[in-house]
Amino acid sequence: MNDRLLTVYAPPVEEPIEAGSDLAAILVNALRRNRIDLKDGDILVIASKVVSKADGRMRSVKDRAEFEDLVKDSSNHLVAERTYASGSTVQVVRTKSGTVQAAAGLDQSNSSGAVVLHPHDSDASAQKLRLRVEESFSVRIGVVISDTISRPWRIGVGDFALGLSGFSGLDDQRGRPDDDGRVQSVTVRAVADEIAAAADLVKGSSRGLPMALVRGAGGYLDNGRAGAKALSRDLGEDWFRYGHVEAIHRGLGVTELPGRAAAGDNSDDILERVSRAIRVVRAGASRTPGQAAWRMRIEGSGSRITMAPSDSPATPQAGGPPLLEAMVGLGSLVERMHTALFAEDLSATTQWEWADGELGAFPRGVRINIGLLTP
């Protein structure tokens, strides 16, 4: 059982922490220097940055471009990408640790300009630290290695469990009755993240407080061995594995966006948005023939797109008559353009232009009029 009173205290850590430091010894000394006698059931929350520093997980970068390359090297999956007026690009990615974080969780604060990477294996690091501290105090405790993360739909950041040892980190209440006696079927509480967030209120590596002691949550300690990795949802179960813009681009067959990504502060003008939509439509894998028979031109500073026959003669791509393939391609091109414009928060209406031929009327071109959508 847990206490009804939770206390959180961050003892000062005076020793500098750098590559090769014995982090466990430093933390034990800080606890003893502050006359803290650990008890069974205590939980230590330790900032991932100091774990990485002690393990030498630091890299030097010359500029923002090298930093962004390091983000790509530290990730397995791009979720969303945006640009800012400063010229920097921010990526939200699924890290190799399984978490979803901006800039892959890389940090340049309080590191003399170097980039602090995630620990190589945060769960293993938590396990080593826990065993050393338990041996020093002859107690049974839990250890959380915490990191900072932003949250979908909410402003601001908070701490979460990047590494974990001594307890499972999840409180599965499925199958238990609620206060009304109804059996719960959904609720699984992420107690490790909640403990990390509570500790963040008092600790801070920039203030010489990279560790916090949480007392009163000992009821969660068990023999859980899954670590913090169990708190990361599998990619196949992630309903939000892409940002909404990236999901549309993937649907249009674009795996790598040509040119500049959308502005993170929504400051792109209509011309920039329309230009990007055209790049996406042209870069995506074409599923129907005949699209190359048409050229697209932006008019009115982005208020209109015209589609007209290309200067080069139409050639068959799927073994059909070139004119019929071109008509099929134009219809597909218009629908792809509407979809790409929607990703840019732009509305579109289509005006068709017709010409008469031997087989009757056929499309001579298209005019797409563009307006703003309100997200």
11-39 pLDDT per residue, tens: 999 999 999 999 999 999 999 999 999 99
Which residues, listed in sequence order, are joined to residue 102 by a DSSP beta bridge? 92
User: Do 125 and 231 share a domain, yes or no?
Assistant: yes
Average pLDDT in the 198-212 region?
88
Question: Which residue shows structure tokens 């939980």?
Answer: 43
- Look at residue 92 and tell me whether its pLDDT is greater than 80: yes
| Residue pLDDT, tens place only, 163-174 | 999 999 988 777
Q: Give the residue numbers spanning the domain of 253.
A: 244-372
pLDDT at 224: 76
User: Do 184 and 322 share a domain, yes or no?
Assistant: no
Average pLDDT in the 61-72 region?
90
User: Do 185 and 303 share a domain, yes or no?
Assistant: no
pLDDT at 340: 96
Output the six-digit token pair for 206.
Answer: 């920039």
Examine the fold and report which residue of 205, 237, 269 is the final residue of a domain before the chain moves on: 237
Average pLDDT in the 196-223 region?
90
Output the six-digit token pair for 179.
Answer: 């206060």
- Residue 68's region, left for phi above 0, alpha for psi from -120 to 50, else beta, is alpha
pLDDT at 324: 83
Q: Please give the span between the terminal C-alpha atoms of the chain, in angstroms, as a whole number.
A: 47
User: Do 269 and 145 share a domain, yes or no?
Assistant: no
CB 203 within 8 A of CB 47: yes
- Cα 246 from Cα 262, distance rounded (Å): 10
Residue 107 one-letter amino acid: D
Examine the fold and report which residue of 237, 271, 306 is the final residue of a domain before the chain moves on: 237
User: Do 134 and 229 share a domain, yes or no?
Assistant: yes
| Residue pLDDT, tens place only, 323-334 | 888 889 999 999
- Look at residue 2 and tell me whether its pLDDT is greater than 90: no
Q: In this structure, is residue 340 part of a structural domain?
A: yes
- Cα 275 from Cα 216, distance rounded (Å): 57
- Look at residue 297 and tell me whether its pLDDT is greater than 80: yes
The residue ranking higher by pLDDT, 373 or 278, is: 278
Query: Phi and psi (nearest 5°) for 219?
Result: -65, -15
pLDDT-above-70 percentage for the chain? 96
User: Do 225 and 324 share a domain, yes or no?
Assistant: no
Confidence band, pLDDT 50/70/90 cuts, at residue 110: low
Which residues, listed in sequence order, are joined to residue 357 by a DSSP beta bridge? 360
Average pLDDT in the 138-162 region?
94
The residue ranking higher by pLDDT, 184 or 253, is: 253
Output the six-digit token pair for 118.
Answer: 């995630």
User: Do 206 and 303 share a domain, yes or no?
Assistant: no
| Residue pLDDT, tens place only, 230-247 | 999 998 899 999 999 999
Average pLDDT in the 82-93 region?
88
* Residues sharing a CB contact under 8 Å with residue 360, sequence separation 6 or more, in sequence order: none
- Look at residue 124 and tell me whether its pLDDT is greater than 90: yes
pLDDT at 359: 59
Q: Where are the alpha helices (DSSP H) in the chain?
A: 23-33, 48-54, 64-73, 122-137, 191-200, 244-251, 270-283, 322-343
The DSSP bridge pattern shows strands 43-47 and 142-151 to be: parallel
Which residues, listed in sequence order, are joined to residue 45 by a DSSP beta bridge? 144, 212
pTM of the model: 0.86
- Residue 109's region, left for phi above 0, alpha for psi from -120 to 50, else beta, is beta
The residue ranking higher by pLDDT, 223 or 107, is: 107
* Residues sharing a CB contact under 8 Å with residue 316, sequence separation 6 or more, in sequence order: 289, 322, 325
User: Do 257 and 315 share a domain, yes or no?
Assistant: yes
User: Do 159 and 253 share a domain, yes or no?
Assistant: no
Nearest by Cα to 369 from 240, 225, 283, 270? 270
pLDDT at 360: 62
> Count of domains in the chain?
2
Q: In this structure, is residue 94 part of a structural domain?
A: no
- Look at residue 97 and tell me whether its pLDDT is greater than 90: no
Q: What angle do CA 209, 10, 191 make, to 5 degrees?
A: 110
- Cα 15 from Cα 297, distance rounded (Å): 64
pLDDT at 188: 82
User: Do 197 and 300 share a domain, yes or no?
Assistant: no
User: Do 262 and 184 share a domain, yes or no?
Assistant: no
* Residues sharing a CB contact under 8 Å with residue 132, sequence separation 6 or more, in sequence order: 24, 25, 28
- Cα 84 from Cα 217, distance rounded (Å): 42
Output the six-digit token pair for 325.
Answer: 């393939």
Confidence band, pLDDT 50/70/90 cuts, at residue 363: confident
CB 349 within 8 A of CB 368: yes
Q: In this structure, is residue 335 part of a structural domain?
A: yes
Q: In this structure, is residue 20 part of a structural domain?
A: yes
Q: In this structure, is residue 34 part of a structural domain?
A: yes
Nearest by Cα to 259 from 242, 281, 244? 281
DSSP codes joined into one string, 35-66: T----TT-EEEEEHHHHHHHTT-EE--SSHHH
pLDDT-above-90 percentage for the chain? 67
Confidence band, pLDDT 50/70/90 cuts, at residue 204: confident
